[in-house]
């Protein structure tokens, strides 16, 4: 996918693996310290140099995921199912993506002012800054990195309607 196309679309339901984003998303440089962004240019993107060891706003390296599914959907919020999961990089809240009926991840970001979301799907490796609407590669957050592999998509299976494809946001 091209950089321009990435920047135009919402980041909450796009699924990108490390190999798919190589050369598109700016790289995290752990050698530069706690908040080590390299000031490299990657296909026209230039990230702010964060090699001064200051924390990255919106990312906590100590927050653990709130669970294996969307917190609100599992707590009884209707309709109670999701397509993909997103993780708040600041507090670890797990919410459903923008294609899901309830869009709890973006509601959490807006309500609490937590600007950075990352994927909570297996093999996806991206962060999204809701204020700037830009994708980037970020640091490794505390495990687990994704929902369990055996968990179906969409989920939870007993809540997903047979016509779920017609109910998602596109």
Per the model's pLDDT, the better-predicted residue between 31 and 97 turns out to be: 97
CA distance 44 to 125: 20
142: region left, alpha or beta (phi > 0 left; psi from -120 to 50 alpha):
beta
Dump pLDDT digits (tens) for 122-142.
Answer: 999 999 999 999 999 899 999
Residues near 137 by beta carbon (within 8 Å), at least 6 away in sequence: 21, 25, 26, 27, 28, 125, 126, 127
pTM for this structure? 0.73
Query: What is the reported pLDDT for 53?
Result: 54
**Residue 19 scores a pLDDT above 50:** no
**Domains observed in the chain:** 1-141 (3.30.40.10)
Using DSSP's 3-state secondary structure scheme, residue 85 falls into strand
Q: In what order do the strands lie in the sheet with 116-119?
A: 94-96, 85-88, 116-119, 127-129, 134-136
Continuous H helices in the chain: 3-8, 18-21, 71-74, 104-112, 164-167
Per the model's pLDDT, the better-predicted residue between 36 and 168 turns out to be: 168
Measured in degrees and rounded to the nearest 5, phi and psi for residue 155 equal: -150, 170
Dump pLDDT digits (tens) for 64-108.
Answer: 999 999 999 999 999 999 999 999 999 999 999 999 999 999 999
Q: Range with the lowest mean pLDDT among 17-21, 46-50, 98-102, 125-129? A: 46-50
């Amino acid at each position: 996918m091209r950089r321009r196309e990435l920047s135009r679309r919402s980041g909450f339901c796009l699924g990108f693996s490390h190999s798919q984003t190589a050369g598109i998303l700016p790289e995290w440089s752990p050698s530069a310290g706690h908040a080590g962004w390299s000031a490299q240019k990657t296909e026209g993107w230039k990230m702010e140099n964060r090699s001064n060891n200051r924390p990255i706003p919106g990312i906590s390296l100590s927050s653990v995921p709130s669970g294996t599914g969307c917190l609100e959907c599992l707590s009884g919020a209707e309709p109670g199912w999701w397509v993909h999961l997103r993780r708040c990089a600041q507090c670890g809240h797990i919410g459903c993506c923008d294609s899901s009926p309830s869009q709890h991840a973006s509601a959490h970001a807006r309500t609490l002012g937590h600007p950075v979301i990352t994927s909570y799907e297996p093999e996806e490796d991206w962060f999204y800054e809701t204020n700037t609407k830009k994708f980037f590669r970020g640091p490794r957050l505390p495990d687990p990195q994704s929902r369990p592999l055996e968990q179906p998509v969409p989920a939870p299976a007993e809540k997903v309607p047979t016509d779920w494809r017609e109910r998602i946001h596109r």
